[in-house]
Structure 1
Amino acid sequence: MIWHIVKKLGLYFWRNPQQLFLFLALPIILIMILGAALGSNFNSESSLITLKVAFIEHEDSNEQMVAFLQDIQDEVPDEALQAIESSLPSMEPIQIITSVFDNEEVNEFLQVDYVDPSERDVVMNDDSYTAIIEVPNNFTYNVLHTMVFGNNDAPTLSVTYNEEEQFGSTIVNNFLSDIQEQLTKGSYLGKNGIDLSTVEIEEIKTETISLNEKNPISASAYYTIGMIVMNVLFLAGAVSYYAFYEKELKVFNRIILAGVSRWTYFSGILISGTLYAFLQSCIIFLFSKVFYGINWPNIIDFLIVTIAFSFAVGGLAVLLSAINYRLNSETITSFFMNIVVTILAVIGGSFYPIGDFVPLIQTISNMTPNGAGLTAYLSLLRGDGLAAVSDNLLFLGLFGVVMVVIAALCFPKRGVSA
């Protein structure tokens, strides 16, 4: 009986070319328009964000290294002195910092200007800089002394951030925190007689790999996903509309009089919403693969996310149907399709990834079915696995279950429906 319900709802779509156009052709048209109009914002060959940093060294680090070696000649044996002298190039803190900033991957989004101390006041008044990093006097000397003897507190850099660029300042701060961690680790390892040069080289290599492990997202890929997760919500409203249409035709009453449980019909609506949402998503994703070359790194992960998202949509469909039956009106479906879907699309990031710039909005976005689906799809497309989207999958599953439970409570009893 459930299969007959699913088939009948499918025939309603098949016999309504206008609905098919809205669910299949319209998303494709929107993908083409938005991808072309806003493609420059997603150019994979350039970074979305370009940060500008000024680096001011108040005292030459090489001179400090020479002074350090001269000062410790009488404090350490000759063999230890030779070992320290040979490892100084890899221990030198400014070299560690500049090797990170001068990395080709970093330079794609981070511009570092090495500024003479005499120009400090000029850059301090230049609002184009995200941050100004100052290396104080004796910084290299003190760092080396701490690494070798471990009897001083590690010196710190002076950093002035541009308050108007909080997002960029956070990125620079993370960079500096990682570098500070390297220096602190170097101090500990040096004090315990561990080879510093090997550790430092491995740390920098690790940083370089971490910058390169994500695949870029094109405009076509982003809007393919954005339009799918938005338009599939309309399908939930359409399923509930046809379910109420059957009630108007007394089909539901005849099913009840035939001795079929109302939960059978309830399950049929849930499966219909889930199945047709899955088919709609796959058809549009197939289009994007053929015409835009959008390929998923792992097709199994993609199918799992699509099933989870489709189940959430199926839960929405059955909830809307239950409310329509309870109120004996399709007003709730009209309200959902005309207003709620648009609000969810904006919050969920279907039109623009506003959550990338406002963390609070991203958190709210992930608490909507379309937003959670969008985040999961984008993560998979960047090369992440299911473990990275487990929270989104859990939310989609729980969302679907909650919708089904609420729908079951709202679904009218036999006496009410008959």
Structure 2
Amino acid sequence: MLFSLIAKQMKMLIRNKQPLIILLVMPLVLITILSNALGSIMDGGEGAAIQANLLIVDDSSWTQEEEAIKLFLEREGVTGPALDALLKQFKSSDPVELLKDTILASDEMKKYIAVDYKQTVDLKAVRQDENIDGILNIPTDFRLNYIKTAYFNNANFAELSLYLNQDNDIRASIIQSVLADWQSGYTQSAALLEANLSPQEIMSNLEGVEKIEQVLEANERKIPASIYYTVGMLVMFALYIPAFLAGFALQEVQWKVYDRILLAGVSPILYTLSIFFTGTLVAFTQQVIMLLFGMFVLGIEWISLEGMTVIIVSYSLFVGALSALMTTLQFRTKTDGIANIFNGLFITVFSFLGGSFFNIRDISEMLGKIGDLTPNGATMSAILSIQKGQDLSVIWPFMFALYILVVVCVLLSIVFFPRRGVAE
């Protein structure tokens, strides 16, 4: 019987053009318009989400150290053509030059790291510069010590100094990720040579850009207008579902259909549950369609699908519970005034506070916190949080609030639902 009631209500919804237009067509049109019209403003026209500033201080150079390297090789018994060949090989695999000319010089890397080179600076002074996110200090005789360590097993290890700006954790993480990858390459040069692999070949293929993407995704993924307004319209238009379902239920009362349902032995609780499950199903379907539209039409890459599923299901359950409660209230008042007030006032206020039109926190942090207390605002904040790359645990406080509302709405609709036929 429950499935028959749900199927009946779904047919009533599908046969009416107005609900379909408002629930599906309007949000998709608004998403497209807002994403394109406000995309350049929200996205800022930036090619990358964030860019770090790196200063490389090289106190030496190959030209300055070449003579010392040559003398060291001669003391090791390397002379003649073999000496020239080794010098040529060492110069071509100079880790500092590989870092400058290969890794940091790539077009992809330039989007994330802006590099400046200086030879001799006052480190104490430049470390106070807030615009510098990281300083790599390459000391005198670094190349000579590197050759001794990598090729002659000398214990005098070539050391570098890396200073990171702790006030810019994300940018510092980008620099640290790339330089750690680079350092790993040059410290393993001896093993690479034994395996007949060129350090130049290995170090030029470091996955620095991929690591940067991981750092950004884990810490600060930029939310473009397409994602923001897809989520904003998703949570806003789901709130129209309860009014439509409650309106159809009131029509059944006016057409004496509801009385016949009661005469058929259907309990009021079962009828309430049918409204709850119908609202949940419609809301879930609506949101899935909008997410797929964002993916295939707007090119959105949704991350953390398991988190998205939890949020969408939770919000759909709330919409179903609100549908049941609104139906109860309309049966009690015997008028569609409740639905009209909800559509005309509450949805507008909730959407404003929840951030569907724009980020309310840009106006007031306090309003933003109030918006998170609304069901649509909590859902939107939860989705945007995981789309920024935050851990899944961040959504549970929002989901807890939603499920409290679900339980309250369902209990109120069952308790206050009329136990007998609803007279006009």
Q: Tell me the TM-score normalized by structure 2.
A: 0.65
Q: Which residue of 2 aligns with 1:258?
A: 264
- Of 181, 186, 197, 1:183 maps to 186
Q: Which residue of 1 aligns with 2:119?
A: 116
Structure-2 change in CA distance of 1:59 and 1:8 (3 Å): same
1:146: how far off? 1.8
Q: Give yes or no for contact 2:53–2:133 (8 Å, CA) kept in 1.
A: yes
Query: Using the alignment, how far apart are the partners of 2:360 and 2:109 within structure 1?
Result: 25
Segments of structure 1 that go 5 or more residues without pairing to the other structure are 215-220, 355-360, 380-388
Structure-2 change in CA distance of 1:26 and 1:118 (3 Å): closer
Residue 17 of structure 2 is aligned to residue 7 of structure 1? no
Pairing 1:5-404 to 2, within 5 Å after superposition: 5-10=9-14, 14=18, 23-38=27-42, 41-43=44-46, 46-75=47-76, 85=87, 87-98=89-100, 99-117=102-120, 123=126, 126-152=129-155, 154-187=157-190, 189=191, 193-197=194-198, 199-207=199-207, 210=210, 222-246=224-248, 250=253, 255-260=261-266, 261-262=270-271, 263-279=273-289, 285=294, 289=297, 294-295=298-299, 311=313, 313-324=315-326, 337-338=347-348, 341-342=351-352, 344-345=354-355, 351=359, 369-370=379-380
DSSP-derived class of the 1:205 partner: coil
Query: Using the alignment, how far apart are the partners of 1:13 and 1:412 within structure 2?
Result: 28
Q: Give yes or no for contact 1:131–1:159 (8 Å, CA) kept in 2.
A: yes
Segments of structure 2 that go 5 or more residues without pairing to the other structure are 215-222, 363-368, 420-424
Query: Using the alignment, how far apart are the partners of 2:248 and 2:25 within structure 1?
Result: 22
Q: Give yes or no for contact 1:58–1:136 (8 Å, CA) kept in 2.
A: yes
Percent of aligned pairs with the same residue?
Answer: 17
- Amino acid corresponding to residue 64 of structure 1 in structure 2: E
Query: Using the alignment, how far apart are the partners of 2:240 and 2:313 within structure 1?
Result: 15
1:337: how far off? 3.4
DSSP-derived class of the 1:159 partner: strand
Number of equivalent positions: 373
Q: What does the per-residue CA deviation read over 1:73-119, in whole Å, with 9 as the maximum and x for residues that have no partner?
A: 44467799788556423542212321322223222343322213157
Structure-2 change in CA distance of 1:229 and 1:126 (3 Å): closer
DSSP-derived class of the 1:59 partner: coil
Q: Give yes or no for contact 2:178–2:211 (8 Å, CA) kept in 1.
A: no
Q: Which residue of 2 aligns with 1:410?
A: 411
Query: Using the alignment, how far apart are the partners of 1:31 and 1:75 within structure 2?
Result: 67
Q: What does the per-residue CA deviation read over 1:315-340, in whole Å, with 9 as the maximum and x for residues that have no partner?
A: 23113234546787969967973555
Q: Give yes or no for contact 2:60–2:119 (8 Å, CA) kept in 1.
A: no
Two-structure CA RMSD over aligned residues (Å): 5.2
Query: Using the alignment, how far apart are the partners of 1:182 and 1:353 within structure 2?
Result: 45
- Amino acid corresponding to residue 105 of structure 1 in structure 2: E
